[in-house]
Homo-oligomer: A and B are copies of this chain.
Amino acid sequence: MSHFDQLAPQQLFKALESASPQDTLPSMDVLLNAVRFNDDGLIPAIAQQHDTGEVLMMAWMNREALEETLFTQRVCYFSRSRQTLWRKGETSGQQQHLVSAALDCDGDTLLVQVDQTGPACHTGRRSCFYVALGVESAEITSEPMIDPATLYGPKTS
C-alpha cells in the first residue's frame, strides 16, 4: 500500500511532484487511472534510442497500447489514421523494444527509451526529425538508411 492510493486520480500527479525515489508509489492500476489521456483517449509518446539518446519519433498511445507496451516490452502505439493498435514494426519489421518508460510531471506525456531495430521512420530514415528549421531556410538532415519500398513492399515469403 502507498499513501498515494487514497488520492483522487486528478490529485495524484500533483502529489507526486514532491515525492522522492524512496517513496512507495501507488499500484500501476491507480497510476494508469490518473494518466491524463486527451479527449480522444490518447497521450503523446516520445521514443528515444536508449544508448545514443537520439529522439526517433513521436506517436500516440491509448491506455491499451500503454499497458501492452509495459507488459510485452514491445512498443505499441495507437494509429490515429487507422484507429487501431499499431505494434511498431508489425509491417516493416523495424520493432522497438522497450528499455524504460516514464511519465512527465503532469501525467500527460510519456517518454519511452527503446532499442530500435533499423529505421524508426516510415521514410527509411533512422529518426523522423529530419526537416531542420533555421531563421530563413530549412534543410533535410539525413538520408534514408533503407529504401522505404523495401520496408512496406509485398512480402516474398
Alpha-carbon separation in the docked complex, A121 to B103 (Å):
13
The answer to whether B44 and A137 have CB atoms under 8 Å apart is: no
In which size bucket is the chain A interface? 35 or more
Q: How many copies does the complex hold?
A: 2
Q: Which of B20, B111, B130 contacts A102 (CB 8 A)?
A: B130
Closest 10 CB pairs of A and B: A53-B53, A104-B128, A102-B129, A103-B131, A111-B129, A25-B138, A58-B109, A101-B133, A17-B123, A105-B128
Q: What are 27 inter-chain pairs, A to B, with CB distance below 8 A?
A: A16-B140, A17-B148, A19-B140, A21-B141, A21-B142, A21-B143, A25-B131, A26-B138, A28-B133, A28-B135, A28-B136, A28-B138, A31-B138, A44-B58, A46-B55, A48-B53, A52-B53, A53-B53, A57-B104, A70-B134, A102-B129, A102-B130, A103-B131, A105-B121, A105-B122, A105-B123, A105-B125
